[in-house]
C-alpha cells in the first residue's frame, strides 16, 4: 500500500492559518491502515487545530470528514454539496488523493496534511518499510522475489556493490543489503547459479523517467 | 608468464587497444599503477605535482571520480592533465552521477584525448559525501557500464544502436572487493564482470592476506586469472589510528586485528614507516601468488611514498614502452 | 476506608486504559478540562496484556500535541497502581490537583470564556 507519515502540526498550522472555514478530509484506505490520515487522525488533528486557533483568538470553523477513497470520482462526489462551505480543504490522503480532490474542486484550495512516502508493507506495528518503486516492468522473477530497485540504495541490477558488509548496506548498518537478501533467497531456492546471469541494461522509460504514466485497459472501459 | 617483447606481442595480434597498460600486462610484466585524487578546487598543480612524484615508478595513474561522493575536479579533466604530461591515465568513472547519455559522452570525450584506460565503478553512496541531499542516478550499474564501453569499442555502436565515428580505444577495467559480503559470491561476481567485458581488475585494499589468497585460489579454480589481469590493491597505513578508522568506518574494508596490533606496537612516530614496511612485505608475498598481474598502489595523500614502496618491492625500474 | 480526594475532578470509567485514545484526551481539553490523568493497572499486570502500555503511549502522544498547540503537555499524565491501592489513588489525585493549580486554567477555556464575555 501507499505509506504516508503525518506532517508536523506546526507546519499544518502555518498552512491553514489564513483560512476561516476548513474541512479536514481523511481517506479510508492506505493512510488509514498506516495511521496517518484516517478518521482517527482527522479527529485528533481537527481537535488540536480548533484548540490552537481558539487559544490564538482566531475564529475558525474546522470540520471533519473521511471518505472511502479520495482517488475515485464516486466517493469524492459525496462532498460536492458541502464544498462551498469551506475556504480550503486539508486532505490527509496520499498525494494522489490530494490532487484528485483538487482536480474535482477546482476553485477550492487543497492542502496536504501528510507526507506521502513510498509503497511499502506493514512490517510490524508502527514500522512500515519500502518494497516497490513502481518501475513499470517488474524484475522480481529474476531477483528471488526481492526488489533491487526499491531496496538497494544504488538500485544496482547486478549487485551487491563493494560496500555490502555482514549482510548490511553501506549506507546504514541497520539496513539489510538487498543483494544479500537476494543471494540468500536464491540459495534457499536452489538457484544460486542464476546469480551469474547478467541483468540487462534496464529500460527506465516505464519508470518515472518516461514521464507521467498511464495504464489503459480498453477491456474494462465502459 | 614468460616475457615477450613488444614486437612479439604486436605480431601475436593479441592487442586490442593502444593502452600502454594492456601492453605491459600482455608482455608478461607485473604492472604497477597508482592514483591521483583530483583536488577540491581548480588548480591543476594538485594533479600534476602528485603525478610528478610517482610518474617514473608507475605505468599508469588512476584519477578518482568524486571519490567517497565528495565533489572534486572531474576525473576526466584530471586525466587530460596527466595526458598532457605524457603520462598514461586510467579514467575512473562511477555510475552514481551520470546517466547513460553523460557516461557515453564522457567516454567519447576521453577517447578524443586518446585516454586508453577506464575503470568502471558504481561509486560510494552520496550520503558519505558533501551532497547528502543530492539525487543519485544509477541508470546503469558498474557491470552494465563495462558492457557499454566494450560495445562502444568493439562494435562501434552507441547503446541506442547508432554507429560511432571513431569508436573509443579503451582498455576496460573494473574493481573487485574480495572482502565484501557475501564471500561465496565474490568469485562468481568477478566471473560476471569478466563476462561483461572487464579486461583488468583493481582490487580493494588488501590487508587480510590470507582471505585474499583464499579468494585467489577460488579465482584460479575457475580459471578466471587467465581471462583477466588482476592487480592487487595496496594502501600503506599511516598510523594505527588510520587502521582502526579503515576497519570500523570504511565500507567493505577488512583490516585484521594483527595489522592494528603491529602498528600499535611501535611508537607513534615510527608507525608510518611500519606501515610502509608492511605494504612492501605484502607486495613481496603477493608477487608470488599465481594469477596476480600487478599492483595498484593507492597511497592516499601520501604519493611521495610510492617510489619507495615500488623500489623496495623489487618492481623498479618500470619497463619502457 | 475514607479517602480525601480533591472534589474538582470527574472520573470517567473505562474497562481498561487501553480503551483510551488520543482524541478522548484532546476532547476533554476542548471541552474545558484543565488537566487529564489516566490511572491504569501496574505495568505488566494488564488483564489484556498491553492495554496500559498503549495508554501510556497515547498519553505521551496527547502531551506532545498539547505542547505543540501551546496548551501544555504537562497537563496530562499517566499513573499506574494496583486495585487495592486506594490511598495511592487519593495521593495521585492530590498531586495532579496541585500541579494543575500551579499551571493555571486551560488556556483554551480561558479564550472561550473571554469570547463569551465580550459577546
Ligand atoms: S522491480 Fe519494479 S515493479 Fe517490481 S517490485 Fe521493484 S520497483 Fe516494483
Ligand atoms: S550494500 Fe547492498 S543494498 Fe547497499 S547499495 Fe550496495 S548492493 Fe545496494
For the residues C58-84, what does the mean pLDDT come to?
Answer: 95
Ligand nearest to the CA of A164: 2
Ligand 2: residue whose CA is nearest its atom 7: A160
Whether the CB-CB separation of B64 and B49 falls below 8 Å is answered with: no
- The residue with greater pLDDT, B180 or C56, is C56
- CATH of residue B176's domain is 3.20.20.220
Ligand 1: residue whose CA is nearest its atom 1: A138
In the reported structure, the alpha carbon of residue B140 is separated from the centroid of ligand 2 by a whole-number distance in angstroms of 15
Q: What is the pLDDT of residues A136-149, one digit of tens each?
A: 999 999 999 999 99
Ligand 1 atom with the smallest distance to the CA of A143 is 1
The three three-digit cell numbers of residue B161, written as one number:
544502436
Instruction: Please indicate, yes or no, whether residues A110 and A160 belong to a single structural domain of this protein.
Output: no
The three three-digit cell numbers of residue B295, written as one number:
599492483
pLDDT band at C8 (very low <50, low <70, confident <90, very high): confident
**Number of domains composing chain B:** 1
- DSSP secondary structure code for residue B307 in this structure: H
Instruction: Please indicate, yes or no, whether residues A113 and A141 belong to a single structural domain of this protein.
Output: no
Instruction: Please indicate, yes or no, whether residues A82 and A147 belong to a single structural domain of this protein.
Output: no
State the pTM of this model. 0.93
Q: Return the pLDDT at C47.
A: 86
- The residue with greater pLDDT, B169 or C10, is B169
3-state secondary structure of B30: coil
For the residues A35-43, what does the mean pLDDT come to?
Answer: 98
Mutate to test the pocket of ligand 2, among A163, A172, A174 (most ligand atoms within 8 A of CB): A163
Instruction: Please indicate, yes or no, whether residues A22 and A108 belong to a single structural domain of this protein.
Output: yes
CA C83 – CA C79 distance, rounded (Å): 13
Whether the CB-CB separation of C106 and C29 falls below 8 Å is answered with: yes
Q: Return the pLDDT at C9.
A: 85
The pLDDT of residue C119 is above 80:
no
Q: Left (φ > 0), alpha (ψ -120 to 50) or beta: where does A57 sit?
A: left
- Cβ(A154) – ligand 2 distance below 6 Å: yes
- The residue ranges of every structural domain in chain C are 17-118
Q: What is the pLDDT of residues B231-260, one digit of tens each?
A: 999 999 999 999 999 999 887 899 999 999
Q: Tell me phi and psi for residue B182, to 5 degrees.
A: -75, 140
Q: Where are the beta strands (DSSP E) in B18-147?
A: 31-36, 60-63, 89-94, 117-121
In a domain, A219, yes or no: no
Neighbours of chain A (3+ CB pairs under 8 A): B, C
Instruction: Please indicate, yes or no, whether residues A108 and A179 belong to a single structural domain of this protein.
Output: no
Q: Return the pLDDT at C5.
A: 76
**Number of domains composing chain A:** 2
Residue ranges making up the domain that contains A58: 2-118
In a domain, B100, yes or no: yes
Do A and C count as touching (3 or more CB pairs closer than 8 A)?
yes
Interface of B with A in 163-222 (CB under 8 A): 175-177, 180-182, 184-185, 188, 191-192, 195-196, 204
Q: What is the pLDDT of residues A186-207, one digit of tens each?
A: 999 999 999 999 999 999 999 9
CA A54 – CA B68 distance, rounded (Å): 52
B228-256 CB burial, b ≥16 within 10 A, e <16: bbbbbbbbbbbbbebbbebbeebbbbbbe
Q: What is the pLDDT of residues C19-34, one digit of tens each?
A: 999 999 999 999 999 9
Considering only CA atoms, which of A126, A144, A133, A125 is closest in space to residue A207? Answer: A133
The three three-digit cell numbers of residue A1, written as one number:
500500500
Give the Cβ contact number of residue B314 at 10 Å: 11
**Contact yes or no for A162 and B175 at CB 8 A:** yes
In a domain, A128, yes or no: no
- Cβ(A176) – ligand 2 distance below 6 Å: no
- The distance in angstroms from the start CA to the end CA of chain C is 48
CB of C116 within 8 Å of any CB in chain A? Answer: no
Considering only CA atoms, which of C72, C74, C92, C96 is closest in space to residue C82? Answer: C92
In a domain, B279, yes or no: no
In a domain, A218, yes or no: no
Whether the CB-CB separation of B175 and A162 falls below 8 Å is answered with: yes
Considering only CA atoms, which of A185, A124, A125, A126 is closest in space to residue A151? Answer: A185
B146-157 CB burial, b ≥16 within 10 A, e <16: bbbbbbbbeeee
Which three-class secondary structure string do you get for B222-240? CCHHHCCEEEEEECCCCCH
Out of B181, B195, B251, the one facing A198 most closely (by C-beta) is: B195
Whether the CB-CB separation of A63 and A26 falls below 8 Å is answered with: no
Instruction: Please indicate, yes or no, whether residues A106 and A197 belong to a single structural domain of this protein.
Output: no
Q: What is the pLDDT of residues A58-98, one digit of tens each?
A: 999 999 999 999 999 999 999 999 999 999 999 999 999 99
Q: What is the pLDDT of residues A149-159, one digit of tens each?
A: 999 999 999 99
Query: What is the interface pTM, i.e. ipTM, of the complex?
Result: 0.93
Mutate to test the pocket of ligand 2, among A159, A167, A199 (most ligand atoms within 8 A of CB): A159
Q: Tell me phi and psi for residue B121, to 5 degrees.
A: -135, 160
CA A42 – CA B196 distance, rounded (Å): 54
- DSSP secondary structure code for residue B300 in this structure: T
- If you measure CA to CA, which chain B residue comes closest to A195? B188
Ligand nearest to the CA of A147: 1
In a domain, A142, yes or no: yes
In a domain, A114, yes or no: yes
Q: What is the pLDDT of residues B162-197, one digit of tens each?
A: 999 999 999 999 999 999 888 889 999 999 999 999
In a domain, B138, yes or no: yes
**Contact yes or no for B124 and A170 at CB 8 A:** yes
CA C30 – CA C62 distance, rounded (Å): 12
Strands A110-112 and A61-67: unpaired
Out of A9, A43, A51, the one facing C108 most closely (by C-beta) is: A51
Lowest pLDDT segment from A161-165, B67-71, B147-151, C73-77 = A161-165
Size of interface A-C (CB pairs under 8 A): 46
| Low-confidence stretches of chain B (pLDDT beneath 70) | 1
Boundary (domain end) residue, out of A118, A147, A182: A118
- The residue with greater pLDDT, C82 or A33, is A33
The pLDDT of residue C2 is above 70:
no
Instruction: Please indicate, yes or no, whether residues A172 and A97 belong to a single structural domain of this protein.
Output: no
- CATH of residue A101's domain is 3.40.50
In a domain, A18, yes or no: yes
Residue ranges making up the domain that contains B143: 6-237+291-312
pLDDT band at C111 (very low <50, low <70, confident <90, very high): very high
Ligand 1 atom with the smallest distance to the CA of A136 is 3
pLDDT band at C3 (very low <50, low <70, confident <90, very high): low
Edge-to-edge, what's the strand order for the sheet holding A61-67? A61-67, A21-27, A88-91, A110-112
The pLDDT of residue C44 is above 90:
no
Within 8 A by CB and 6+ apart from B242, the residues are: B275
Amino acid at each position: 500500500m501507499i505509506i504516508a507519515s503525518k506532517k508536523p502540526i506546526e507546519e499544518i498550522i502555518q498552512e491553514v492559518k489564513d483560512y476561516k472555514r476548513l474541512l479536514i478530509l481523511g481517506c479510508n484506505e492506505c493512510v488509514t491502515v498506516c495511521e496517518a490520515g484516517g478518521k482517527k487522525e482527522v479527529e485528533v488533528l481537527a481537535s488540536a487545530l480548533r484548540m490552537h486557533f481558539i487559544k490564538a483568538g482566531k475564529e475558525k470553523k474546522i470540520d471533519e470528514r473521511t471518505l472511502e477513497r479520495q482517488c475515485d470520482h464516486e466517493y469524492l462526489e459525496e462532498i460536492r454539496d458541502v464544498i462551498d462551505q469551506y475556504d480550503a480543504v486539508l486532505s490527509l490522503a496520499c498525494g494522489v488523493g490530494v490532487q484528485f480532490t483538487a482536480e474535482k474542486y477546482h476553485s477550492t484550495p487543497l492542502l496536504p496534511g501528510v507526507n506521502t512516502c513510498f509503497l511499502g508493507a506493514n512490517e510490524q506495528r508502527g514500522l512500515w518499510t519500502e518494497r516497490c518503486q513502481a518501475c513499470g516492468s517488474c524484475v522480481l522473477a529474476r531477483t528471488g522475489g526481492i526488489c533491487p530497485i526499491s531496496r538497494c540504495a544504488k538500485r544496482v541490477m547486478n549487485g551487491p556493490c563493494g560496500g555490502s558488509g555482514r549482510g548490511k548496506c553501506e549506507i546504514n548498518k541497520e539496513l539489510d543489503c538487498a543483494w544479500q537478501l537476494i543471494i540468500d533467497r536464491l540459495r534457499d531456492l536452489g538457484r544460486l547459479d542464476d546469480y551469474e546471469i547478467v541483468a540487462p541494461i534496464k529500460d527506465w522509460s516505464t519508470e518515472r523517467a518516461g514521464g507521467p504514466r498511464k495504464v489503459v485497459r480498453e477491456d474494462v472501459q465502459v | 608468464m614468460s616475457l615477450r617483447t613488444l614486437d612479439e606481442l604486436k605480431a601475436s595480434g593479441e592487442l586490442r587497444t593502444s593502452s600502454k597498460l594492456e601492453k605491459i600486462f600482455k608482455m608478461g610484466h607485473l604492472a604497477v599503477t597508482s592514483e591521483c585524487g583530483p583536488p577540491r578546487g581548480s588548480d591543476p598543480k594538485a594533479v600534476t605535482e602528485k603525478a610528478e612524484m610517482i610518474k617514473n615508478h608507475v605505468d599508469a595513474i588512476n584519477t578518482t571520480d568524486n571519490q567517497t561522493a565528495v565533489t572534486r575536479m572531474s576525473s576526466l579533466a584530471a586525466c587530460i592533465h596527466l595526458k598532457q604530461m605524457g603520462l598514461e591515465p586510467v579514467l575512473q568513472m562511477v555510475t552514481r552521477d551520470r546517466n547513460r547519455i553523460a557516461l557515453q559522452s564522457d567516454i567519447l570525450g576521453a577517447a578524443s584525448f586518446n585516454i586508453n584506460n577506464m575503470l568502471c565503478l558504481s561509486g560510494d553512496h552520496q550520503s558519505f559525501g558533501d551532497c547528502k541531499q543530492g539525487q543519485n542516478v544509477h541508470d546503469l550499474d558498474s557491470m552494465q557500464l563495462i558492457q557499454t564501453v566494450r560495445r562502444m569499442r568493439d562494435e562501434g555502436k552507441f547503446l541506442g544502436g547508432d554507429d560511432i565515428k571513431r569508436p573509443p580505444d579503451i582498455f576496460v577495467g573494473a574493481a573487485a572487493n574480495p572482502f565484501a559480503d557475501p564471500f561465496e559470491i565474490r568469485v562468481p561476481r568477478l566471473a560476471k564482470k569478466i563476462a561483461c567485458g572487464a579486461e583488468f581488475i583493481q582490487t580493494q585494499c588488501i590487508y587480510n592476506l590470507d582471505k585474499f589468497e583464499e579468494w585467489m585460489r577460488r579465482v584460479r579454480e575457475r580459471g578466471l586469472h587467465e581471462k583477466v589481469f588482476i592487480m592487487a590493491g595496496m594502501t600503506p597505513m599511516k598510523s594505527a589510528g588510520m587502521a582502526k578508522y579503515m576497519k570500523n568506518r570504511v565500507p567493505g574494508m577488512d583490516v585484521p586485528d594483527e595489522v592494528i596490533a603491529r602498528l600499535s606496537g611501535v611508537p607513534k612516530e615510527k608507525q608510518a614507516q611500519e606501515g610502509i614496511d608492511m605494504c612492501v612485505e605484502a607486495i613481496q608475498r603477493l608477487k608470488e601468488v599465481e594469477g596476480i598481474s600487478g599492483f595498484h598502489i593507492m597511497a592516499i595523500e601520501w604519493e611521495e611514498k610510492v617510489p619507495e614502496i615500488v623500489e623496495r618491492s623489487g618492481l623498479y625500474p618500470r619497463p619502457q614502452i | 476506608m475514607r479517602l480525601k480526594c480533591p472534589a474538582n475532578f470527574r472520573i470517567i470509567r473505562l474497562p481498561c486504559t487501553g480503551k483510551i485514545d488520543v482524541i478522548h484526551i484532546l476532547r476533554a481539553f476542548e471541552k474545558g478540562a484543565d488537566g487529564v490523568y489516566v490511572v491504569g493497572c501496574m505495568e505488566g499486570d494488564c488483564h489484556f496484556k498491553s492495554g496500559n502500555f498503549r495508554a501510556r503511549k497515547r498519553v505521551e502522544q496527547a502531551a506532545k500535541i498539547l505542547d505543540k498547540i501551546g496548551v501544555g503537555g504537562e497537563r496530562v499524565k499517566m499513573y499506574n497502581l494496583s486495585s487495592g491501592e486506594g490511598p495511592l489513588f487519593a495521593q495521585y489525585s492530590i498531586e495532579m490537583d496541585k500541579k494543575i493549580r500551579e499551571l493555571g486554567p486551560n488556556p483554551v477555556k480561558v479564550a472561550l470564556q473571554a469570547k463569551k464575555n465580550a459577546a
